[in-house]
Amino acid sequence: MSEQEKLAKEKICVALDGLSSMEEIKERVLELKDYVGLFKIGLELFTLFGPPAVELIHSLGGKVFLDLKLHDIPKTVERTAKAISKLPISYFTIHASGGFDMMRAARNGVGVEENSAKIIAVTLLTSIDSSILSEQLLVSAPLPACIFKYAKMAEDALLNGVVCSAKDLVGLRSALRPRFIYITPGINLAKDPSCASKVIDHKRLATPREAIGAGSSFLVIGRGVVDKPTPEERVKAAAQIVADISLMV
């Protein structure tokens, strides 16, 4: 693997959604860790297997992004963030819509040590578009303004970054501090027809190249890799993403 490919690898986060056993988790991590910088554990997997899933990935040499999207009163979030930070994880998520005090409480729970888990605020889920925001959530502000407000609050609360669509990045990167982290879900592997029917829950999509070009720090890619039927196909899919973005990093 070239130096450019190694840099590209570190920008790829594979979501281990939909797996049904610890053995499957182990298989995916061993298959993909040479092509993937982060492995995401979401609500489903953490509910099924809890901290042992985090410990397993860490023991296999993988770095963990714990995507639980905390959203509660500030004291509960502070205590939960403190508990989460004791796990061997690199990043975890909270909802920016919980407000400044909640985000600041999470920061207090984790502390400010250099090796602490980094806190990432979810701005708006990529399943939410302008019509859902206004008609269902009754938020009158335009979607870009809402995302910018949430991201700025996260920065002011001394969080480490945000989860946002690649399409939101242009307005954010120029306004927030240089080392802010941008984690981008809603990645559409446009050349893979098997993915076309699997991204319907994401409204604001981008290809890997579009996201990297816009300034994404990490691409969250799940079904386009994990749902391939064989280990060889999963490795090939991950390796292709590395190759596709290696000239852009």
Catalytic annotation, residues: 69
CB 246 within 8 A of CB 219: no
CB atoms near residue 56 (< 10 Å): 18
Cβ neighbours for 226, distance < 8 A, ≥ 6 positions apart: 14, 15, 16, 17, 18, 19, 28, 234
Q: Report how far apart, in Å, the C-alpha atoms of 245 and of each of 118, 146, 150, 153, 208 are.
A: 24, 30, 28, 31, 7
Rounded to an integer, what distance in angstroms lies between the CA atom of residue 37 and that of residue 61? 10
